[in-house]
Amino acid sequence: MKSVKEIMTKDVKACAPHDSVRSAAKIMQEINCGAVPVCENKKVIGMITDRDIVLNVVADGQDSDSVHCHDCMTSDVITCSPETDVHECARIMADNQIRRIPVVENGEMVGICAIGDLARVNIFVNEAGTALSQISEPTHLQ
């Protein structure tokens, strides 16, 4: 069985809580992704997504240079360990409808595992595809 440490990205760009939202967007642009971990030292305290920026900053007409990452990040972050099995990681992503998961060891981020990383691994029953389809299911608003 493969573990997350075998497929994760190890060189992860992150923002600090007091970095501007613009700096988070610049990182997303540089590495062509839609989410960046927000860390104090190496401890993950949040995730900021392009959607967070659009809905909570741009749509409200706020200045992306003056809004900080901690102002619009998701602070309830789902993580896994480097030893997590790739099948379990796919299940966690599907259950929580997330496309990337910070990998944490001894309280510090050591990598990130994205749905694309799972898709490149020969995992049975097409778990990456199943995870992605479940992640992409619309939520029902009440």
- Threshold 0.75, pTM exceeds: yes
Question: pLDDT at position 73, please?
Answer: 95
Question: pLDDT at position 23, please?
Answer: 97
Question: pLDDT at position 142, please?
Answer: 47
Question: pLDDT at position 116, please?
Answer: 85
pLDDT class of 37 with cuts at 50, 70, 90: very high
| Structure confidence by residue, pLDDT tens digits, 88-139 | 999 999 889 888 999 999 999 999 999 888 887 765 434 445 555 554 555 5
CATH topology of domain 4-135: CBS-domain (3.10.580)
Distance between CA atoms of 23 and 28, rounded to whole angstroms? 9
CB atoms within 10 A of CB 46: 21
The chain-wide mean pLDDT, for the chain, equals: 87
Question: pLDDT at position 1, please?
Answer: 73
The answer to whether residues 84 and 4 touch, using CB atoms and an 8 Å cutoff, is: yes
pLDDT class of 35 with cuts at 50, 70, 90: very high
| Structure confidence by residue, pLDDT tens digits, 43-53 | 999 999 999 99
**In the chain, domain spans:** 4-135
Reduced to 3 states, what is the DSSP secondary structure of residue 44?
A: strand
Q: Which residues are within 8 A (CB) of 66 and not within 5 positions of it... i.e. 6 or more apart?
A: 20
Q: Is the pLDDT of residue 66 over 60?
A: yes
